[in-house]
């Protein structure tokens, strides 16, 4: 298990780290501007949700 995958403790509170794989947001080839927009919007919503919960994110 990588150190980044572990829950890191700080003096103030527990920090949760989550890995997010870009490939989880589209299994199809991206071949149009619309497809790019859909993937980006889905990824953005997911990342903002995690950040709002105090999660630190590592993109893969």
pLDDT number for residue 12: 52
Contact predicate 43/22, CB 8 Å: yes
pLDDT number for residue 14: 76
**Spatial separation of the C-alpha atoms in residues 56 and 52, rounded to whole Å:** 10
Question: Within 1-60, where are the H helices?
Answer: 33-52
Mind listing the pLDDT tens digit of every residue in the chain (60 residues)? 454 555 555 445 678 999 999 999 999 999 999 999 999 999 999 999 999 999 999 999
pLDDT number for residue 24: 94
């Amino acid at each position: 298990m990588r150190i980044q995958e572990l829950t890191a403790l700080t003096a103030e509170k527990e920090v949760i780290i989550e890995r997010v794989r870009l490939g989880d947001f589209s299994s199809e080839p991206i071949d149009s501007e619309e497809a790019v927009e859909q993937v980006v919007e889905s990824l953005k919503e997911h990342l903002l949700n995690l950040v709002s919960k105090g999660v630190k994110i590592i993109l893969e």
